[in-house]
């Protein structure tokens, strides 16, 4: 550890491992510092399922083409144009190679999962999920001779004139408390697990947020970089946040706490009032807005209400639904005013128009005469038992990050690229994601920019 490495990678998830492997394959000596213990290594990658990549034709595990143009159109709509077009199109173009490159690193794919996901054409699913994907990358890294240290928390980074010099460790490793390297790749995630930092932008509401992923993403590396002259990008209130079960743990609940049942029912707040169109668009393009929607409701709590006819229509979660033989009984169990819930459901049922239900397309089942409308998949809620899931905002990762260019090189506050610092993954996702989210894009950002950052860092170190 007292030697000088060519490339130092701070982080331990998908982006970090892609960077480390890429740098090592380019001939660099590489050290990975993972702040978490070995069992919890990998940040949010442990909880992922799939990756969204452009491809020109169907494959063994993808049902059809997903062109660069369609990917860009999807990204443009979900971000509302709040994206760096040059970087985003670069990422999409590079993603076409990632599908094969990631397999070359030991990762295996499986056919798409069904239900409301509708991702069989656009997204590749990891065989065994995110943890299996992560284990494959770590195995490859170890075989390549990449040094990996766990419980390796970095407490300071020395930067002079836009150049990385060394990283200081909280606890020495093999007698070394300072690590020197010719180039740095920062891939240590966002600050979603730092409730106090979230409260700077969200106020007391942040106390009611649940963190879907790792408790180790506290943003310490991001804060150091921004404090030491790296240019920031992104709105600190924007994040990938979904509605997750209110009964989930504060941290690390993961994918099994997410609810995909919204399109099959209605969502009400603590006053038993609907507040948004549950059928606005295909679920993978809208599921990630519901965290912010619930965050804006009183006490940051909401309830998905549906009936027994749709119970097997979506992927089940860890927690069972709360049931009532009548709406009044259900309301009592949820702590809602029975008369208010009965009125909301009655008004909704009266507004439902005749149509042909099909959750895989934007069907013609809609409401008329109520606000907010339900523009697709609207069906009457009338078959007991009546069911509900309580949900809270579940933050996956934050979008405030470090600005980078197409070489994944960090840009300093004076507008000049850093001499030897690169970034990949959630710590720079705000370059592509100004707001909004679609399934699998976080992994795409991590893999693409991780691969680029490692390659460029190795090249920089050799020079």
pLDDT in tens, 59-99: 999 999 999 999 999 999 999 999 999 999 999 999 999 99
Is 178 buried (19+), middle (13-18) or exposed (0-12) by CB count in 10 A?
Answer: middle
Query: Is the pLDDT confidence value at 118 over 80?
Result: no
Predicted confidence at residue 114, as pLDDT, reads 67
The pLDDT of residue 3 is 84
> Is the per-residue pLDDT at 1 higher than 80?
no
Is a pLDDT exceeding 90 seen at residue 2?
Answer: no
Report pLDDT for 285.
81
The stretches of 144-268 forming alpha helices (DSSP H) are 195-202, 220-227
pLDDT digits (tens, 9 = 90+) for 133-189: 999 999 999 999 999 999 999 999 999 999 999 999 999 998 999 999 999 999 999
Which residues are within 8 A (CB) of 104 and not within 5 positions of it... i.e. 6 or more apart? none
What is the model's pLDDT at position 111? 84
- For 86-107, b where at least 16 C-beta lie within 10 A, e where not — what string? ebbbbbbebbbebbebbeebbb
Tokens (6 digits) for 199? 């409260």
Q: Residue 190's CB: how many other CB atoms inside 10 A? A: 31
Q: Give me the chain's average pLDDT, please.
A: 96
178 Cβ neighbours under 8 A, 6+ residues apart:
166, 167, 168, 169
pLDDT band with cut points at 50, 70 and 90 for residue 131: very high
Answer yes or no: are the C-beta atoms of 131 and 256 closer than 8 Å: no
For 369, other C-beta atoms within 10 Å of its C-beta total 9
pLDDT at 338: 98
Percent of the chain with pLDDT over 70: 99
Instruction: Retrieve residue 419's tokens.
Output: 């001499």
The confidence score (pLDDT) of residue 336 equals 98
pLDDT at position 112 is 79
Q: pLDDT at residue 116 above 80?
A: no
Three-class DSSP category at 32: strand
Strands (E), 399-439: 401-402, 409-411, 417-423
At 327 the three-state DSSP class reads helix
On the question of pLDDT at 115 being above 90, the answer is no
pTM (global) more than 0.75: yes
Spell out the residues 6+ positions from residue 53 whose beta carbon is closer than 8 angstroms to its own. Answer: 66, 95, 96, 98, 99, 124, 444
| Sequential DSSP letters for 233-272 | ES-TT-EEEEEEETTS-SB---GGGB---GGGSEEE-TTS
Contact (CB, 8 A) for 445 and 425: yes
The terminus-to-terminus CA distance of the chain in angstroms comes to 22
Long-range contact set of residues 194-202: C-beta below 8 Å, sequence gap at least 24: 194/218, 194/219, 197/223, 198/395, 198/398, 200/236, 201/236, 201/237, 202/237, 202/295
Chain centroid to Cα 282, Å, comes to: 18
pLDDT over threshold 70, residue 117 = no
């Amino acid at each position: 550890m007292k030697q000088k490495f060519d490339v130092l990678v701070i982080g331990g998830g998908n982006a970090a491992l892609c960077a480390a492997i890429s740098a090592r394959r380019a001939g660099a000596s590489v050290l990975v510092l993972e702040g978490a213990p070995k069992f919890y290594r990998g940040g949010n990658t442990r909880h992922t399922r799939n990756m969204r990549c452009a491809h020109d034709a169907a494959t063994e595990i993808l049902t059809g083409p997903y062109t660069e143009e369609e990917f860009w159109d999807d990204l443009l709509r979900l971000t509302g144009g709040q994206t760096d077009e040059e970087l985003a199109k670069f990422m999409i173009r590079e993603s076409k190679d990632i599908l094969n490159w990631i397999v070359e690193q030991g990762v295996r794919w499986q056919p798409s999962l069904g239900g409301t996901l509708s991702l069989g054409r656009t997204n590749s699913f990891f065989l065994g999920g995110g943890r299996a994907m992560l284990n494959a990358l770590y195995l490859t890294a170890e075989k390549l001779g990449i040094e990996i240290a766990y419980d390796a928390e970095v407490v300071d980074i020395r930067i002079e004139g836009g150049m990385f010099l060394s990283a200081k460790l909280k606890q020495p490793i093999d007698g070394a408390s300072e690590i020197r390297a010719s180039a740095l790749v920062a891939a240590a995630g966002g600050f979603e697990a730092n409730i106090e930092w979230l409260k700077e932008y969200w106020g007391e509401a942040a106390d009611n947020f649940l963190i879907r992923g790792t408790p180790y993403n506290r943003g310490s590396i991001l804060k150091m970089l921004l404090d030491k002259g790296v240019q920031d990008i992104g709105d600190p209130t924007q994040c990938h946040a979904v509605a997750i079960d209110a009964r989930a743990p504060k941290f690390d609940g993961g994918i099994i706490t997410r609810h995909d049942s919204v399109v099959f029912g209605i969502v009400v707040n603590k006053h038993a009032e609907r507040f948004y169109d549950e059928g606005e668009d295909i679920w993978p393009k809208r599921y990630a807005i519901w965290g912010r929607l619930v965050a804006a409701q009183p006490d940051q709590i909401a309830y998905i209400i549906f009936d027994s006819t749709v119970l097997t229509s979506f992927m089940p979660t860890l927690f069972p639904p709360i049931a009532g033989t009548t709406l009044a009984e259900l309301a009592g169990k949820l702590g809602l005013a029975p008369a208010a819930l009965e009125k909301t459901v009655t008004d909704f049922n009266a507004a439902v128009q005749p149509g042909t239900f099909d959750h895989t397309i934007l069907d013609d089942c809609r409401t008329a005469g109520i606000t907010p409308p339900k523009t697709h998949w609207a069906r009457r809620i009338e078959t007991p038992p009546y069911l509900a899931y309580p949900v809270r905002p579940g933050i996956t990762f934050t979008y405030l990050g470090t600005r980078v260019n197409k070489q994944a090189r960090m840009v300093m506050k004076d507008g000049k690229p850093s001499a030897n610092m690169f970034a990949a993954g959630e710590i720079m996702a705000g370059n592509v994601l100004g707001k909004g989210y679609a399934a699998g894009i976080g992994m795409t950002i991590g893999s693409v920019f991780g691969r680029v950052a490692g390659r460029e860092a190795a090249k920089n170190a050799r020079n």
